[in-house]
């Protein structure tokens, strides 16, 4: 995360919902899993950013009395979990998910497992590089997760809703094209 901040100073970090839920369940007593999971999902089921933040606060209040360690865990992750709310609702699903990255990791793992043992480091780098190049070509040809037009609209929405003074003092998520 430090590398992201150094390279893109205004970038926000969005944690994967699925991976965070697993981390939160590790801090939750097993009998409370269904209740805590339902509360966590209720945060993401809100219609707009203000409702998401309000529900997050209600969930924290509900957890503070019964499961203070879980509430603290959730409160610590607030910024990372709610980064998606700075973007238009239309692209929230793409922002909060890392499914394409997971799919790419599985493909790299599958291709390297086929080979098994590599003679040297350079050979595995060539194979992984080839897999990444194939995926890049596929994304360039049209199967984009976030199209340029969606990113352009998101950038326009972000810049049109912010006041110039507020822009200087807050961190806005970086959208690169």
What per-residue confidence (pLDDT) applies to 44? Answer: 92
φ/ψ (deg, to 5) at 40: -60, -45
Buried b (16+ CB within 10 A) or exposed e, 127-161: beeebeeebeeeeeeeeeeeeeebbeebbeebeee
| Whether residue 64 has pLDDT greater than 90 | yes
Which tokens sit at 69? 């360690």
- 89-128 per-position pLDDT tens digit: 888 888 887 788 888 899 999 999 998 888 899 999 999 9
What per-residue confidence (pLDDT) applies to 140? Answer: 76
| Whether residue 165 has pLDDT greater than 60 | no
Dist. CA 159–CA 164, nearest whole Å: 9
- 8-63 per-position pLDDT tens digit: 776 777 788 888 999 999 999 999 999 999 999 999 999 999 999 999 999 999 99
């Amino acid at each position: 995360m430090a590398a992201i901040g150094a390279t893109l100073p205004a970038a926000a970090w969005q944690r994967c919902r699925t991976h965070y839920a697993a981390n939160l369940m590790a801090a939750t007593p097993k009998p409370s899993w269904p209740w805590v999971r339902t509360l966590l999902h209720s945060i993401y089921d809100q219609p707009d950013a203000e409702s998401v933040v309000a529900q997050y606060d209600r969930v924290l209040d509900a957890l503070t009395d019964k499961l203070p360690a879980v509430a603290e865990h959730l409160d610590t992750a607030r910024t990372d979990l709610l980064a998606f709310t700075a973007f238009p609702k239309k692209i929230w699903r793409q922002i909060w998910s890392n499914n394409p990255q997971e799919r790419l990791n599985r493909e790299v793992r599958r291709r390297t497992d086929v080979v098994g043992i590599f003679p040297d480091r350079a050979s595995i780098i060539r194979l992984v590089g080839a897999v990444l190049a194939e995926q890049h070509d596929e994304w360039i040809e049209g199967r984009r997760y976030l199209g340029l037009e969606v990113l352009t609209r998101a950038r326009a929405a972000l810049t049109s809703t912010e006041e110039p003074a507020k822009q200087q003092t807050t961190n806005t998520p970086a959208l690169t094209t």
